[in-house]
Amino acid sequence: MEKTYPLQMCQWRLAVIWLLGSCVLFILMAFQVAGGKYGNEDQKAWGWLLPQVLPILSMIGGAIVYQMNRSDENIVVTSFAYRATWVVSLIYLLLVLTTVALVPIAEQEQGIKPIDFLPKMGPVLTGLSAIASSILAAFFVSSKPKA
Amino acid sequence: MLTVTANRSTSERYRARLACVVGLLTLAMLCGCGAKMEETTTSTPPVEMPMDTSMMLPDTSMADTTMHDGHTGSDPEDPPPPPMSAPPDEITQFPWPPPEPTLRYSIPRQLIARDSTESSGRVVDRITTALNRAGIDMWSIHAIGSKGFAVIGRMEHIKDNGTPDDPRFSLGAQRNRKFDLGAYLKALIFATPGRYRVIVIAITPEVIRQYGKSPTAAQLETLLHEGASDLPDPMRGHAIGRIRPEALIYEFHRRDAHSEPVLVNSNRTTLSAVDHLAGAGIWSKDQLVGERNP
């Protein structure tokens, strides 16, 4: 017997994960910018971070707003879809956080400028971002009216 | 709140559809990442050290100078160095008027020479011994006109109190093998600024009336490498005469580990000249302040 969850609850939980993760990243980068970590290249640092989280945050926000207008419908999603989306979201956000956290280590060990290190994880993050987006999309596709 | 669906075949169909979508997208993205990584590898230009275009010496007389054998970093593709044009008995001239320092200090004469009849050789030996004792193991000597000379020490990495920092003679950051959470968090948030200094001890009968253009760290480094390791013999035998020993202190600051050190103006430094000289360990504060001529 397949477990299902109410779509609205799942959307809010995912939104909370993404909002919390994004807040941590934004606050960390704000401290780094204030501390002069990126020198005169603050704009490049923000330009790296924003595309990592904003598209998916926008998608989740749009989905929640759309669903709020249809709150009378009792829609559920499968537990597999929800868990998969949750895990991939968490892995993705942790990977973005790890990239920022590795900056001082790369700087000390390899002498790489902080702003030059961030794009080095680009291929991995781009790939995982696309996977996270597709899984989130699939998550919403998997929703169906309650039987 | 959990609800249970009765239709098992429907949920299996959804799961299979989801798995197919995810698998196809993963495959597509991995192919895309591979291509992107290859493109990054092939298109990234080699990392080059920033080149200070103002490395040309301000004094054109320095252009035809004798190269000290401590010169390093020559690129095999660089043109060969110019032939030695200075006669063997001459040493390179220190730019005069001297490049504008952060701080200047008149060193008590007793620390430099016992009396005016003492030879220049003895005086230069006394200065270089003081530098060596302080751990400044690389220095070079330039002439100031025909009666004076300047000893320039290598650039030191210093703490905020003027004492040497670790690593003392490197612009590179300190490498800690032991993990320190506090240091890591500090490095995560803040840039790694650096404070550096170069000390020049100028022995000349001339009065410093004006200064030249502020030097860059690269220019001082060039001066260090182009200077001689000793005074020529004829000059060593000269009586030092009436001299004005001056310490010219060039303090540099850089905001992070990847920017060039910039000279600090005298109204921006928090250290005094005595703090610098005593911090370097060349002389003590008591010697510098106490041993004044009447």
Given a contact cutoff of 8 angstroms between Cβ atoms, the answer to whether A59 and A133 are in contact is yes
The residue among A61, A34, A56 whose CA lies nearest residue A46 is: A34
Cα–Cα distance list, B8 to A76, B5, B17, B111 (Å): 14, 7, 14, 96
Under an 8 A CB cutoff, do B22 and A135 touch? yes
- Reported ipTM: the value is 0.83
Tell me whether residues A76 and B173 touch, CB distance under 8 A. Answer: no
Exposed, middle or buried: residue A46 (CB in 10 Å: 0-12, 13-18, 19+)? Answer: middle
In this complex, is the C-beta atom of A91 within 8 Å of any C-beta atom belonging to chain B? no
Report the mean per-residue pLDDT for chain A.
86
Distance of CA B5 to the CA centre of its chain: 72
Q: What is the pLDDT of residues B139-178, one digit of tens each?
A: 999 999 888 899 999 999 999 898 998 888 877 766 666 7
Q: What is the pLDDT of residue B213?
A: 92
Tell me what pLDDT residue B239 has. 86
Q: Which residues of A touch B37 (CB under 8 A)?
A: 123
At A46-105, the pLDDT tens digits run 999 999 999 888 888 888 888 777 765 678 888 888 888 899 999 999 999 999 999 999
Left (φ > 0), alpha (ψ -120 to 50) or beta: where does A138 sit?
alpha
pLDDT of residue B256: 82
User: Which residues face B151 on adjacent strands?
Assistant: B141, B201
CB count within 10 Å of CB B242 equals 10
For residue B190, is it left (φ>0), alpha (ψ between -120 and 50) or beta?
Answer: beta
Candidates B29, B184, B259; nearest CB to A127: B29
Kindly report, residue by residue over B7-22, the tens digit of the pLDDT. 444 555 555 555 545 5
Per-residue confidence (pLDDT) for residue B64, from 0 to 100: 34
Q: For residue A108, list chain B residues with Cβ-Cβ distance below 8 A.
A: 173, 175-176, 187
Per-residue pLDDT, B38: 41
Say if A145 is an interface residue toward chain B (CB within 8 Å): no
- The pTM of the full predicted model, rounded to 2 decimals, is 0.66
Q: What is the pLDDT of residue B140?
A: 92
Counting residues of chain B whose pLDDT is more than 90, the rounded percentage is 31
Residues of chain B with pLDDT under 70: 1-89, 173-177, 291-294
Q: At CB < 8 Å, which residues of chain B contact A?
A: 1-8, 10-12, 14-15, 17-18, 21-22, 25-26, 29-30, 32-33, 36-37, 40, 172-173, 175-176, 184, 187-192, 255-259
What's residue A147's pLDDT?
57
Strands A144-145 and B139-144: unpaired
A35 touches chain B (CB under 8 A): yes
Instruction: Find, in chain A, the residue whose alpha carbon is nearest to that of B34.
Output: A123
Q: How many other C-beta atoms can be found within 10 angstroms of the C-beta atom of residue B134?
A: 19
Cβ contact (<8 Å) for A134 and B15?
A: no
- DSSP letter string, B30-64: HHHHHHHHHHHHHHPPPP-----GGGS-SSGGGSS
Which pLDDT belongs to residue B29? 45
pLDDT at A68: 76
